[in-house]
Amino acid sequence: MKILVTGSAGFVGFHLTEKLLELGYQVVGIDNINDYYNPALKYARLAESGIERQVGGSGEMVQSEKYAGYKFKKAALEDEQVIFHLFESEQFDVVCNLAAQAGVRYSLENPKAYVSSNIKGFLNILEACRRHPVNHLLYASSSSVYGNSVQMPLSTSQRTDAPVSLYAATKKSNELMAYTYAHLFGIQSTGLRFFTVYGPWGRPDMAYFSFAKNIVSGKPIKVFNNGDLYRDFTYIDDIVEGIVRILKKPSLNESPPTKVYNIGNSSPVSLMYFIETLEKALGKKALKEFYPMQPGDVYKTFADVSDLENEVGYHPFTSIETGLNRFAEWFLKEGVGF
């Protein structure tokens, strides 16, 4: 089976690519390696997967020196010609679309980046799947589509038409676009609403990463809503396990053939407990500065993952203590410089 992983130099994309290669799949990865956060981390992830030399402009396919089944190409989803040519030449069986402009607060400052990558880019993926049919399209959505819902746990059966950030609005748009293409053209697709993913090789723009960096360097950390926030922190290995199980799932029986799942730990943790656990893992106390709620933030996330449990046997298994200890071990060894 040949699988396209978009965003393969990103956090989730890197870990998924590694897992798929370990399982014996052929993988083609693409990423635009933008500078939303330090590109050096993206190149370091690629090097970990055997893409040893820095890739230049779009068009160059690089073979991994570690995995015979892995090739990488620097490309942006918005580049229609490159994406269409890639689908035509590689003939993918499955597409895992994880590339996107991420970040809630950044969407307040650079809204056009989200429309370009998350809307136009995803449209190119859908059109490419239409022209060169694949067996299954998996794509990343987000828990942010639930907005500030007070109905807990958050279930895929509830309404998601009140996003509180442009990032969330683009992710909801992706779900609607996938539904339309499933209805019109029979493209079998599965949307994955990720809940606050964390772990080694993570994103420096995420709170836990910036917390670790500031704690180690003795700088204060910003604690929003005076610490009164709750997140369904989900360890990266649990996320990847869920994706792989869905990828292996037989054809959807839905009409049209599209579905959305939550992937989360299903156990929300208070921000203050999260910080305390990270302090213990790093062996150093944090200097805390308290701030009010930020625009675009949500108060609480809590995933109902019963659909995944019933349909693919998914059970998140990593506690916050175990996950943060693994992250801290990696961070102190590799991540401080990012």
Active site residues: 167
- Closest by CA position to 191, among listed 282, 97, 284: 97
Cβ-Cβ contacts under 8 Å for 184 (sequence gap 6 or more):
none
Across the strands, what pairs with 269? 231
Tokens 């590689």 belong to residue: 90
CA distance 79 to 123: 11
CA distance 263 to 325: 21
- Closest by CA position to 122, among listed 152, 184, 80, 72: 80
Q: How many residues does the chain have?
A: 338
CA distance 282 to 296: 29
CA distance 91 to 204: 34
DSSP class of residue 151 equals S
Tokens 């400052």 belong to residue: 109
Residue 251 and residue 187 in contact, taking contact as beta carbons nearer than 8 Å: no
Peptide bond connecting 133 to the previous residue in cis, omega within 30 degrees of 0 = no
Q: How many alpha carbons fall within 13 Å on the CB side of residue 194?
A: 23
| Beta strands per DSSP E along the chain | 2-6, 26-31, 61-63, 70-74, 94-97, 136-142, 189-194, 197-198, 220-224, 230-231, 234-235, 258-263, 269-270, 287-291
Q: How far is C-alpha 336 from the geometric centre of its chain's CA atoms?
A: 22
